[in-house]
Structure formats: C-alpha cells, structure tokens
Amino acid sequence: MLLPTPFHPKTSLLNENNEWRNWSGFMVAGTYEPTHEREYYAIRNAAALIDVSPLYKYDLLGQDAERLVNKIVTRNVKKCDLGQIMYSPWCDENGHMIDDGTIWRLAENHFRITAADPNLRWFEDCGFGLDCLVADVSNELAALALQGPNSRPILREVTTGIELENIGYYRLASTTIAGIPLTITRTGFTGDLGFELWFSPEYAERMWDVLMEVGYRYGLLPAGMVALDIARIEAGLLLIEVDYISSTRALIDSRKSTPFDAGLAWTVALDKGSFVGRKALRAEAARGNRWALVGLEIDWPVLESLFAVQDLPPLVAGRASREAVPVYNENGRQIGQATSRTFSPILKKYIALATVESEFAQEGFPLSIEVTVEFTRQQCPARVISIPFYDPVHKRK
C-alpha cells in the first residue's frame, strides 16, 4: 500500500486525474491536471509547487562529521562553507555509484545529506569508529520544491527577516513562514530558479495553503512528476535507476557506473584524501573512462520524415520516456543507449540523455538513435550536444 505524504490532504483534493506515482512507497501526483503542459510551463515560466517529501534525508552529527561525509562522498566537503550545499555522488569501494544527492553544511559538525535511496546502513558502516551520529530524519522533514522564475517573489511575500537575494545558488537559510520554522535551500531538480523548503510535517498543510494563497497571483501551480521529469532532462540532471543504476542494485557489473561514466568527473576530488572508491576512481582517471554521459539532439526534420512515410505526424511529443533505446555510431554499431528522452517544449527540440562509449562523446559527433515508427524500428540521426540542454541565466542569479 502506498503511503500518503504529509501534503496528501491537500494534493489529493487537487489531483483531478487521481494519477499517483510511487516514489519510495509514497503517493505523489503524476499530474494534477488532465495533461502536464501547464504544470511544466509553470516550472519554466511562473512557479510550481512540487511535493518532494519522499526524498531520504540524513543528519550526520558529531566531531567527525566532516571526516565521515568526506569519506562517503566524492566531493571535497572541507570546502563546503557553513550554509553551503554541494551536489555529490557517493560510491562503493570499486568506484561505482551508489546514489547521489545534496550535502548541506548546517553547522561546523552537522551535515545533512538528501538521497534517492535508503542509505542509513551504508553511512553508519562508513562511520564505524568515527565520532559521528547518523540519523534518518526522512519522516521528520516534509519537503516542498518551489521552482520557477517567480519562486523568489512568492517567497519574498511570505518570509520575514531574510533577504532572499542573499541565498545564493546552492546555499541555505533558516527562517519562518507564517510562523512555521523552516530551512530554505536554493536547490531543485528543474534547472530553473528555485528553492526547496524543509520543515516539520505537522505544518505541511498550513505551509501548502500559505504558498498557494500567495502564489496564485504569480501563476503558481502544483506540479507533478510528469512535468518534473521533462524539466530535469532539460536540466541534464540524472535520475537513479533510469540514467544510472545504483551499484547496490545492479545485478551485473556492466550495469554499474562510475561518476566518470555518468558525466560527474567534476564531482570527484581525487586529491582530497581518502574516501570510499578513491583507489578505483584514481585508476580509472589514469586509464580513461569507458563510458560517457552525453546530451543528444535528435534530428527533427528526419524524424518527421520517418513518420511521414507512414502518413503520421511525429508521435513523440508528450511525456518523457524512461525506456532506454540503443544509440548507434555512423557505421551502425551500437555504442550505447539513450536512457531518458523527451520533447523539450521550451527548446522545441527532441532531446535525450545517453550513455555512450567515451570516444563518441565529443560535441557535434553524429550518432543515431533508435526510434519506433508504426511498430518498426528505425534509426534517426542525432547529434551530441552539451548538457544542460536548458540553462537559464536566472537559475544562478
């Protein structure tokens, strides 16, 4: 049985479709309206409220908190200032990714890690012998993502005593909204300007009401997972179990990915000292990674012509697809797979995140992708382009 999130009394009234997604055993809306389009554009053009409570959250507290976090993740958290947040993957001993999430420094000896999967045991085991408590605070924190260019003006109306402009990209602050104490992080999964709000679940319904009441004047809409999935592909953000498989779940080694394979080389601080997977990652850095994550832009006129043969319009617009399809090189040899695909409504391009053999990862490289036209498998040209596909200036402003 799926569990309600703390916002369920509110979201269930708004979910016209009764379309729910299973997110870590919780019910979250797929779409609220019959189609996801307005929700998507709320993210990109106004503001969207997304229930992200099912995320796992861990607090790491103690003298050795920094040591432990630095041992777990690949980034160097010594460089993480108080009030700063870092995105990082973490790996097993072989350098294969277990999960990824955000690392917050709440105090000198207090970190918080958000994660897609349960990680309590892993974090505790990593901390064996260290003076650091690992606490699963997942159910103690309700979480709302307020995303989109109007997210700041909405927050400005409801918060007091803080300058939202001062919360920089990947920074956090503590404040109150309508008397409710909360932490605001300048983070999100949309690649747009946005914030995430973390507070005690007992205030969930009140917080929802306060934000919706003020937000409707700024075009705020509740948005579900379908809209979010399109936005996160445009932002080039990886989804676990879709774009990479956790090494804890992969049945065979070839399904596992290192951060280098997944385009996350920038998160690997090999020189920071010892951390889990360092040896393997150092060897890979020297050897070169076999796989690379790339963005693909599928050639739309050709795609259109493939469908036109069947007298059909290109039947791809709509929701993002998480079904992996083969990617080929110019000689027709399969050199990887596209793991997430979507038509980008804002870019008017059909885009994909793909994992390909690293020699084919250069920008502009001509590849092709499998498309199914009227039950027939075809290949359609696609070009390697840089990710994020969509990266608005206001995201960091």
* Residues near other proteins (CB under 8 A): 16, 33-35, 37-38, 41, 44-46, 150, 153, 216-219, 300-301, 304, 313-317, 343, 345-349
SS3 content of the chain, % helix, strand, coil (to 5): 30, 35, 40
Residues shown for the chain? 397
Q: How far is CA 219 from the centre of its chain?
A: 23
CA distance 395 to 268: 24
Q: Which is nearer to other proteins, 220 or 268 (CB)?
A: 220
Minimum CB separation from other proteins for residue 106, in Å? Answer: 33
Distance CA 166, CA 109 (A): 23
Taking the complex as a whole, how short is the minimal distance between the CB of residue 219 and other proteins, in angstroms?
Answer: 4
Q: Of 92 and 157, which has the nearer Cβ to other proteins?
A: 157
Instruction: Tell me whether residue 32 or residue 56 sits nearer to other proteins (CB atom).
Output: 32
Q: Which is nearer to other proteins, 273 or 301 (CB)?
A: 301
At 389, give phi and psi (nearest 5°). -65, -40
Structure tokens at 388: 């994020």
- What is the smallest separation between the CB atom of 300 and other proteins, expressed in angstroms? 7
**Which residue's CB is nearer to other proteins, number 3 or number 347?**
347
CB 203 to other proteins: min, Å = 24
Q: Which is nearer to other proteins, 134 or 158 (CB)?
A: 158
Identify residue 397 by its one-letter amino acid code: K
Which letter does DSSP use for residue 261 in this model?
A: T
If you compute the radius of gyration of the chain from its CA atoms, what whole number of angstroms results? 21
* Secondary structure class of 63 (helix, strand, coil): coil
By C-alpha distance, which of 94, 136, 96, 140 is closest to 112?
A: 136
Q: To the nearest whole angstrom, how small is the minimum distance from the Cβ of residue 346 to other proteins?
A: 6
Encoding tokens for residue 280?
């393997």
- From the CB of 157, what's the least distance to other proteins, in Å? 8
Judge whether 191 and 390 are in contact, CB under 8 Å.
yes
Least Å distance, CB 317 to other proteins, is 5
10 or 38: whose CB is closer to other proteins?
38
